[in-house]
Structure 1
Amino acid sequence: MKNEFIALIILFLLVFCQSRQQVTENISTIDSILQVNVTSLLENKLSELDALSGQAIVMEVQSGQIKALVGLTKKDSTNYQPCENFSVWQSTGLMHPISLLAALETGKVKLSDKVDTGNGIYQVQGRELKDHNWHRGGYGEITAQEGLAASSNIAIYKTMEKAFGDNPQTFFDLLANMSYGKPDSINGIASLQPYKITEKNITWNCIGYEQLISPIQVLTFYNAIANNGKMIQPQLYKDSVVVINPQIASRASIDSLKLALAFNITDGLGHPAKSDKVLVAGMQGTSSLSTNEDSTKGMYAVEFCGYFPTDNPKYSIIVSINKTGLPASGGLMAGDVFRKIIVNLKQN
C-alpha cells in the first residue's frame, strides 16, 4: 500500500511538472498592447498607400522574443484584415548591408573606398544595372558608405566586384557561413520555408534579386547585426534563448556596418525613420516583384529594417509593404511606420 502511495505521488509530480512545462512553452511573447498599436499604425499606412498587404514585426534583440507580429491584407477597397503572411517568399530590397558585410569580411574593401557610380546606369552581363536616380544623372564618385546610404545598386555591385573578383562562389559561401536566410522554421509560424537562391548570379543576388526570403528571416539577420554578430532564433513562445550562430562575422566588420547603418539614418535615404526620441540605425529598400505574370505587374515591396538604440540595441523592427505602382519608397513609406513604432515603444 505504501509503495502504491509513493508511486501515485511520483506519477502526480511527473504529470504536474509536464503540465507546468507545457504551460511555460505556451506562454506567448506577444505584447498585446503593442500588437494593437502596431496593427493600427500599419493599417493606416496601408490605407494611405492603397497597398495590397503588409507586415510589421518587433523583436527583442538579445532574447529573440517577438513582441509584435502583424500581418494585414486588403479585404476590399477600404478595409484590411489580419492574415498569416509571415512565410511569404519574395525578393528583398534590404540586401545591400548584408552584401557589404560579406565584402568587408574579405578585408579587400573599406567603407571609405571610392566607387564611381557614373551616370546611374551600368552595363553588366548585357543587362542594365540602374540606380534609382539614373534619370537625374546618377551619383558619380562616392564612398562605399555613401553608396549604402544612397541605396546605390551600382556602388554595392562595384564594391562586391572588388571584394570577390573572379570568385563569386566565395560570396555565396560567406552568406552560408553568416547563416543568411535562417531560421528554416519558427514555432508558431506555419509553412516557413528555407531561404532559396533561384539563380546564382552575384550581380543580382547582391542587391536582393534572384532569391526568395521572408521578412522575418531578413529581420533575424539584422537582429544579429544589432546583437554584435550573435544570431538568435526568433520565438513566439517564451523559452530559453537559442543561438543560431554565435558570430556571423568579425566584430570589426559588424562595427563598421553598424556605423554605416547609423549614417544612413542621419545622412542617407533612411532619414524618414529618424526619431527625435532615440538614436536608431537601419536600412530602407525597394524591390520590384514583377514577374511574367500579369497579376504581379507593377508590384513593389517597400521595406525598412533596423534597430534601436544604436549604442545598446534593445529592439529590432522590420516593416514590409507590398503595393502596386509608383512612387515606391522604402524610406518614405516603410521607414515612416518604423519611426512611429519606435515612438510607441518609447512611450510604453
Structure 2
Amino acid sequence: MNTKKYIRTTLLTIVLSLLAHLSFAQKAVVADSIDAEEAFGKKQVPQVPLEQCEHIDTCSIAKFAIVTKDGKQGIYDLEKHENVTEIDFDVADLFRRYVSEEGIEVFYFYVERGIERGTIGVVGENNQTVSVWMDNPEYVAKLDECTTIDSAIAQKCHDVLSEGLKSLDGTYGQVAVLDAQTGRLKAWIALEKDGEDYVEGKLLKQACSPRVLTLVGITPRLADINGSLKDKMDLCGGVYNIGDSISIRDHNWRSGGYGVMTCRQALTHKSNVAMFKILLVNRGDDAFCIWKKITSDEKQTNAMELAAVFNSLYQKNIITFPTLQADSVTEATIDRIKPLGRKYLQEVLIGLNKGDGIQASYAPKKVELAGIYGNYQGKDIENGEHKLAEMSFVGLFPAKKPRYALALFLNRPNEPIHDSKDLANGIVNNLVEWLTKHVQ
C-alpha cells in the first residue's frame, strides 16, 4: 500500500467533509486557511503528561479529553495516551463524530484561538488532523502589537471594571480609554463572569444603547435647520402624536412630561419629542423612518470604536482610529457636521452633566464632563422576552480641552433594575477622577 497516497486521500476526504459540516459555525463559510498536517506531513506535537495539566475534561466520546494547562486548552487521546494538538487554544470542544463512505472515522472539534475560530478533524485511526480556520466575526481585536497601551491605566480599568461588574451583577464588561488629542489607545479591557470570578474576556462587538447615538446624531442637525439652542419648543407634555396612532414619548410622559423649554434644556433632558421635532424639520416625511431606524435597530459596536467616533465628532472634522499596530492611526474626513452643529453638540453634552442637566446629580464633582449614558434591553433569542440589559457610557474630559475619551459597556440581567446613576457611581466617576489625576 502506498502510505503517502493513503495519507493524502484520507486527509483530502477529511477536508471535504470538514467544509461540509462547518455550517454549525456560520451560514456561509469562508476559510482563511486550511492546515492538512502541513501539506500532508505529520506534525510533531509537543507531549505534555496528564499530571502536568490543570484540568482534564472527558468528552462525550470517552476516547478524547480536553486538557487545560496555563489557561490554554488542547485535545488529548486517552486511549493512545498522546496529545493530538498543542495546548494553545482558548476554547476546544468536541461536537461531532463522522464515518465516511470509505469507513474513515473522524472526530470534529470546535476551537478558538485569538480572534480566529475553526474546526479540527481528527482521524480516529492515527490522530492525523486537518484544521480549517477563519476570522471570528464576533471578536474584533487583539492588542499584542499595540505599543500605546498605558499599563497603569489598563490595570486601573481592569480593577474598576471588575468591582463594577460585581456590584451590578454583570456578565460581561468592556472599557476603552483613548488619548483625546492623538486618538491613540491607552487601555482596552474586557472581562466576563466565570463562576464567582471575573476573568479576561474577548474584545467583542456589543449591542449599544440607541439613546447614546440618537442624541449625538440629531443635535448637530439643529444647525442645519438654522435653529438655535435658545429657541423655544413645546414638548407637548411628553407625548407628540404623529398620526396613525403613533406617538413619540419622553421618559417622563406618564407624569406629565415637559412643557415649553429651550432647545438646550430639552436636549440636556434627553427629550425624545425635542429630538424628533428637530429631525422632522430637517428631514420632513422621511423623519419617522429615520427615527425608527436610529432608535429601534440594534447597534453593534465596541468600546474602542465608540470612544474614537465620539472623540472625533466632538472635536474635529476627522475621525481617528487606532490601528492597534504599533502607535499608528487611520483618519477619515467627516463632512456632514457644520462647525455650529459641533458647537451645539459640545454644549449639550456638557449641559447633560451640569446645572439642571438630567445627568448632573451623578456627574463627577471635580472635573467637567462631556458625556452621555444609555441603556439597552436585549431580547432572549428563543421567546423574545427582555432578559438582558446593557448599560453604557461614552464621554470626554476635561470638557473644554479633552485629555481622555472613555467608553464602556456592561451587560447584566434585566432584574433587578439599575439605572445610569449606578453605573456612574460604580465605574465611570471612579475612572474619570483617577484619570484626571493621572494626567502627566
Same fold, judged at TM 0.5 (above): yes
4+ residue segments displaced more than 6 Å: none
1:111 aligns with one of 213, 225, 229: 229
- Counterparts of 1:254-265 in structure 2, within 5 Å, are 254-265=342-353
Answer yes or no: is 1:212 the counterpart of 2:299.
yes
Answer yes or no: is 1:286 the counterpart of 2:375.
yes
Q: Which amino acid aligns with 1:209?
A: S
Q: Distance in 1 between matches of 2:172 and 2:377?
A: 15
2:420 aligns with one of 312, 330, 339: 330
Q: Distance in 1 between matches of 2:409 and 2:312?
A: 19
Q: Which amino acid aligns with 1:278?
A: V
1:139 aligns with one of 258, 261, 265: 258
Q: Distance in 2 between matches of 1:123 and 1:229?
A: 36
1:249 aligns with one of 317, 337, 343: 337
User: Which residue of 1 is the match for residue 397 of structure 2?
Assistant: 308
Cα 1:259–1:287 shift into 2, 3 Å: same
Q: Distance in 1 between matches of 2:349 and 2:220?
A: 15
| TM-fit CA distance, 1:38 | 1.0
- The Cα offsets for residues 40-64 of structure 1, whole Å up to 9 and x where unpaired, read as 1112122111122221111112322
Answer yes or no: is 1:61 the counterpart of 2:151.
no
SS in 2 for 1:205: helix
Q: Distance in 2 between matches of 1:134 and 1:60?
A: 39
- The Cα offsets for residues 201-239 of structure 1, whole Å up to 9 and x where unpaired, read as 222234x32142314333222111332332111343333
Sequence identity percentage: 23
| TM-fit CA distance, 1:75 | 1.8
Q: Which amino acid aligns with 1:110?
A: S
Q: Distance in 2 between matches of 1:151 and 1:141?
A: 14
Q: Which amino acid aligns with 1:315?
A: Y
SS in 1 for 2:312: helix
Q: Which amino acid aligns with 1:137?
A: G
User: Which residue of 2 is the match for residue 82 of structure 1?
Assistant: 200
1:36 aligns with one of 143, 155, 161: 155
Q: Distance in 1 between matches of 2:425 and 2:393?
A: 5
User: Which residue of 1 is the match for residue 317 of structure 2?
Assistant: 229
SS in 1 for 2:221: helix
The 8 Å contact of residues 303 and 334 in structure 1, kept in 2 or not, is answered as no
Q: Distance in 1 between matches of 2:388 and 2:376?
A: 9
| TM-fit CA distance, 1:260 | 1.2
The 8 Å contact of residues 220 and 338 in structure 2, kept in 1 or not, is answered as no
| TM-fit CA distance, 1:272 | 5.1
SS in 1 for 2:237: coil
The count of corresponding residues between Structure 1 and Structure 2 is 291
The 8 Å contact of residues 286 and 328 in structure 1, kept in 2 or not, is answered as no
| TM-fit CA distance, 1:99 | 2.5
Q: Tell me: higher relative CO, structure 1 or 2? Use CA pairs within 8 A at least 6 residues apart.
A: 1
- Of 66-75 and 230-239, the range deviating more from structure 2: 230-239
Cα 1:326–1:141 shift into 2, 3 Å: farther
Q: Distance in 1 between matches of 2:226 and 2:333?
A: 24
The 8 Å contact of residues 29 and 235 in structure 1, kept in 2 or not, is answered as no
SS in 1 for 2:236: coil
Q: Distance in 2 between matches of 1:75 and 1:222?
A: 31
The 8 Å contact of residues 121 and 134 in structure 1, kept in 2 or not, is answered as yes
The 8 Å contact of residues 224 and 248 in structure 1, kept in 2 or not, is answered as no
Instruction: Choose between structure 1 and 2: higher strand proportion.
Output: 2
The 8 Å contact of residues 301 and 320 in structure 1, kept in 2 or not, is answered as yes
Cα 1:204–1:158 shift into 2, 3 Å: same
The 8 Å contact of residues 269 and 331 in structure 1, kept in 2 or not, is answered as no
Q: Distance in 2 between matches of 1:138 and 1:96?
A: 19
- Counterparts of 1:187-202 in structure 2, within 5 Å, are 201-202=289-290
SS in 2 for 1:303: strand
Unaligned 5+ segments in structure 2 are: 1-143
| TM-fit CA distance, 1:248 | 5.0
SS in 2 for 1:62: coil
| TM-fit CA distance, 1:292 | 6.2
| TM-fit CA distance, 1:317 | 0.6
Q: Which amino acid aligns with 2:278?
A: T
- The Cα offsets for residues 130-157 of structure 1, whole Å up to 9 and x where unpaired, read as 3222232212222222222222222211
Instruction: Choose between structure 1 and 2: higher helix proportion.
Output: 1
Answer yes or no: is 1:297 the counterpart of 2:386.
yes
2:358 aligns with one of 259, 269, 274: 269
Which structure has the greater CA radius of gyration?
2
Q: Distance in 2 between matches of 1:224 and 1:280?
A: 16
Q: Distance in 1 between matches of 2:263 and 2:380?
A: 30
Q: Which amino acid aligns with 1:230?
A: I
SS in 1 for 2:215: helix
Q: Distance in 1 between matches of 2:230 and 2:214?
A: 16
SS in 2 for 1:132: coil
SS in 2 for 1:72: strand
Q: Distance in 2 between matches of 1:248 and 1:155?
A: 21
Answer yes or no: is 1:344 the counterpart of 2:431.
no
Q: Distance in 2 between matches of 1:122 and 1:287?
A: 22
SS in 2 for 1:289: strand
Cα 1:149–1:228 shift into 2, 3 Å: same
RMSD between aligned residues: 2.7
Cα 1:289–1:35 shift into 2, 3 Å: same
